[in-house]
Structure 1
Amino acid sequence: MIDHIKEHIARVEQFSSSDINEIEAFRIAYLGKKGVLNDFFAAFKSVPNEDKKEFGQVVNQLKNAAQDKVNALKEAIESKAGTKNAYGDLTRPAEPLALGARHPISIVKNQIIDIFSRIGFNVSEGPEIEDDWHNFTALNLPEYHPARDMQDTFFIQTDPDILLRTHTSSVQVRYMESHKPPIRTISPGRVYRNEAISARSHCFFHQVEGLYIDKGVSFADLKQTLQYFTTEMFGKSRIRLRPSYFPFTEPSAEVDVYWGLETETDYKMTKGTGWLEIMGCGMVDPNVLQNCGIDPKEYSGFAFGMGIDRIALLLHQIPDIRMLSENDVRFLSQFKSAL
């Protein structure tokens, strides 16, 4: 009898299947109410007393082996099923990924960079926390100069000589200090001014300023460069330059582009004139060149600067400049097509 039980133990250990129905049939055959184990337990009464201990141990060994075998085979099947559920059908198309959108400021900035890169301008960058020399003094704005009042400045309280830059002209100063002419660079970046926040102005905004220094550079070169830019950027070829004043350029001018009067929006944007101011420009003041270590008798140059935010408002008909910094997903998602 004991040998017969051991034969069953060997069969149990050899049994293997990945079919849940076969495993269930195996379980019933050994562990069911009418299974093999039930028969052995019933036969226990007829076993001689001297063999009962060994008989009981072998029967329990068969029971444990059968139970362990059933559990192991079922766990193997469940593990495979779990893996399949986790990864699914790998031949099916993947779930679509939600694409983000470029910010309108980035879109316009990249367009400006691309336009000027075609005519040899590189990109230069500098710190947003600047010192007085690079932000004011080197640009022909010495201390107590009345033109400093044109730019309400955020100063760092712990050091009155340190401030948040009010324009990216400070980057041009740093570039002239570290590079020899010819220089042809644009400086995009964020600037700060202590102004009231409204639909048309903000305490921080974005500028891109350009600088060209070489021998024999004239105002005609400046006008031709700006003519090229406005045609590429806006599709408008008519520009005009109005005399103006900037401490770091002389002569200086405001640049207007003829926007037209085709729609009601055009009338509102241009105040009924058809002309729209887009930037300031001028010939670099000799004092600025000298402050940056460039001989003004040998070299001349021009500079220009424009607000990226203002151009973004124009191109995309955005009614409020605050929308550019509020990070409203409903607003930003409209620019997905502009990637």
Structure 2
Amino acid sequence: MSNSFEFPTPSFTLDSDSPAQGPGAAPGANDAAILDDYSRVVTGVVDRVGPSVVRIDVKKQGRSAGSGSGVIIASDGLALTNSHVVQGARTVSLTTLEGRELQARVLGDDPDTDLALLRVEADVSLPAAKLGDSAKLKRGQIAIAIGNPLGFDATVTTGVVSALGRSLQSRTGRMIEDVVQTDAPLNPGNSGGPLVSSAGEVIGINTAVIMGAQGICFAVASNTASFVAGEIARHGRVRRAYIGVGAATTAIPRRIALRLGLEQATGARLLSVDQAGPAAHAGLLSGDLIIALDGKPVTSVGDLLRALDADKIDRTISVDFLRRSEQQRVWIGPVERKAA
């Protein structure tokens, strides 16, 4: 499935007998066609995804404590938003695009990724958006940010995916890995709303904007959101395995990949190793490049974080890594990560 579309290439006539044409001339038929193609994609996405975007209002001790946006991801009323939007509340109010107000429980709140999962308390059937695969994103592809700050109409901004694999510090001080950077502006109240691809799939949950910088906004990648939602739905919180490392996505030199017969082009290089943690006890060192964990490829920091799920806690698992261009394996016993 492709998340992009092709613009027709405009043609310009430079004949001196022709009316003024070229880049500085008035829009011609081809220019109008380009605008129509772009407009059709954006409006089509908004028509499909807009009804699933909700406003979220938080009250504490009977007073308004803030608001933001969210997106319905299951028709029975399961919704994603930001952790900083719900602010530790147990219940919130959702307002749909048509102005319908519904009460929802906060099933779980994960400040480490700035995500929260909600469920509408009433028996409902609501329009739901589909979570896409953020691992397939490409820089430069269209990104559409949708929010519902007023509760009656969706606000829309557009741009492109500016960068992938960014890290963003959460309110707990821990880093949110595999963050999508976009230049689609975020309006006030759009936190927690979806960042959507041209295919109409949610590729991120809008989370932050750098104040004072133009066109720098961030969204938690949809694959991270899917993982967090699944953990909260099963356990009521996100249980994570801990091995005590800090890492960054790094390319594997092609000559080494060819010599070792590796199909992947990237891995997770260890930038730091907690000397009291399981990784250090197993013999891992800063500079090692992890390429697999428990037999599954690790191509990025995001892969490593998602692989360290609750199923790995108190188990002995294999870690394959590269050290000075040689492939090695150690066995490691992850422990449960302490709550922030």
Q: In proportion to residue count, which structure has more strand?
A: 2
- TM-score (norm: length of structure 2): 0.24
Q: In proportion to residue count, which structure has more helix?
A: 1
* Higher gyration radius (CA): 1
